[in-house]
Structure 1
Amino acid sequence: MDTLTRMRAFIDVVDAEGFSAAARRIGRSKALLSKYVRELEDEVGALLLNRTTRQFSLTDAGHAYYGRAVEIISDIDSLRDSVRDASGEVGGRLRLTAPRSYADAVIGDSLIAFAKAFPDVKLDVHLEDRFVDLVEEGYDIAVRIARLQDSSMIARKLGDFTLALCASPEVIERYGRPERPEDMADKPCICDTNGRWRTNWPFTTPSGERLSVNVSGQLEVNSPVVARRGLLQNLGFAMLPRFAVMDDLASGRLVSVLDDYMVRDGGIYAVYPHRRYLPARVRACVDFLADWHKKHASVG
């Protein structure tokens, strides 16, 4: 077994913070990964990992080795990719992270479409609602829904992002249709706590002035999918990504209100690190997602 294979196994174990988690992630047995790491330690003549039944940590030598190993493997992968690109092939492993709300909605179909279009790319998708550090956590691309602020990354806008404040016809009949943002303070609301606004819902006036209204209600949940179910069960009003309720609005199951007061300065972006060499699979994925969103602009 060659050193590079052992080195990759060591990196996988460190990234997953354990042998069992690494085995599940990459589809190899825990025993095999443990064997590779032991052989690597024998080869370098130093203990790289502290192993106990309750704790997993890197030794000082392990910290130093991990940093250089990641650089070496990255350079080798880049060299392989450059040769593949020269031959016109698009393949290899692509690690992508996206919010759950993106993948759960119809726009998540863009990832499946990319996988079908590029069968030689192993697409490794991780759904995270937290802010992910692409470089530290080893991701190639992040799909982000926000006002973009991180200038250390390259970003390509895939589409617009809009919010919808909506409720079922029954709720509107029972509690009345709000005419201005301030009216929401007295209405039952479902709060999607994944949004940065949480219970302070953002609005903008026709003149461009920003304001927020504190709302409350029976249900607070960190999932637009569950919040949508609450809407359909007549629990109140909710402010959600429009793509999460697009079909319900079209069918009349839900009705949007205060459309003229919705904040519209967000976007859906593909974000990736600055690199000396950008693999063809990353370029292909970003281009594909941008084209997919352009063709399906109505789902944003």
Structure 2
Amino acid sequence: MNIRAGWLDDSAMMSRKLGESARALVVGSDYAATCPAPEHPCDLEDWDWVRYRHRSDYTRLSGPGGEEAKVLGQARLEVDSVDALYHFACKNLGATVLPEHLAARGEAEGKLSRLFPDWRLKPLGIFAVWPDTSRRENLTLLFVRFLAKELHQ
């Protein structure tokens, strides 16, 4: 069994949604200080970005009034680890999208600045995923039910 953050593609695996995790658009504080303050997410098109390889090249945001924005940006670096996203954003290599807990940590340490805090990104789904070896009661299924119950309290 695996715990996976992100939305699942069609799969032969069994899965159960355990919850969701908010995400935030951030940039290294020193990098932000070198750029003109953006007034709209589209102003970020010319900024450097650190991209997560398993995510779309576009960042989609929803504004407080329901406005939608889709930003491509210039991918300066592409990584396949959320820890690497956090590290390189803190090193001022560009803007990125991070899970809320990492964005809050970087912001509290003064390393990251939040961009457009009134705008929302689609949250990450958190799923338990396991092979469909048997639909009968087994330890994996019992553990998944336990996790789901504990996380929804």
Q: Same fold (TM over 0.5)?
A: yes
Could you tell me which runs of 5 or more consecutive residues in structure 1 were left unpaired when the two chains were aligned.
1-95, 99-142, 296-300
Counterpart residue type for residue 242 of structure 1? E
Matching residue within 126, 138, 141 for 1:283: 141
Matched, 1:188 2:93: no
Offset of residue 275 of structure 1? 4.2
Contact kept, 8 Å, 1:152 with 1:274, in 2: the verdict is no
Contact kept, 8 Å, 1:248 with 1:254, in 2: the verdict is yes
Could you tell me which runs of 5 or more consecutive residues in structure 2 were left unpaired when the two chains were aligned.
none
- Larger C-alpha radius of gyration, 1 or 2? 1
The structure with the largest helix share of the pair is: 1
Q: Distance in 2 between matches of 1:151 and 1:207?
A: 36
Offset of residue 216 of structure 1? 0.5
Contact kept, 8 Å, 1:206 with 1:261, in 2: the verdict is yes
Contact kept, 8 Å, 2:5 with 2:124, in 1: the verdict is no
Deviations 1:261-297 (A, max 9, x none): 2223542122444944020x213321343355457xx
Matched, 1:262 2:120: yes
Matches within 5 A, 1:195-234: 195=55, 197-198=56-57, 200-234=58-92
Q: Distance in 2 between matches of 1:152 and 1:205?
A: 36
Matches within 5 A, 1:58-97: 96-97=1-2
Matches within 5 A, 1:244-259: 244-259=102-117
- The residue aligned with 1:162 is 22
Q: Distance in 2 between matches of 1:181 and 1:153?
A: 37
- The residue aligned with 1:145 is 6
- Superposition RMSD in Å: 2.9
Counterpart residue type for residue 194 of structure 1? H
- SS of 1:285's equivalent? helix
- SS of 1:283's equivalent? helix
Higher relative contact order (CA 8 A, sep 6+): 2
TM-score normalised by length of structure 2: 0.77
Offset of residue 252 of structure 1? 3.0
Deviations 1:101-121 (A, max 9, x none): xxxxxxxxxxxxxxxxxxxxx
Counterpart residue type for residue 97 of structure 1? N
Offset of residue 207 of structure 1? 4.1
Matches within 5 A, 1:32-71: none
Q: Distance in 1 between matches of 2:90 and 2:134?
A: 46
Contact kept, 8 Å, 2:2 with 2:128, in 1: the verdict is no
TM-score normalised by length of structure 1: 0.43
Counterpart residue type for residue 252 of structure 1? G
Q: Distance in 2 between matches of 1:151 and 1:227?
A: 27
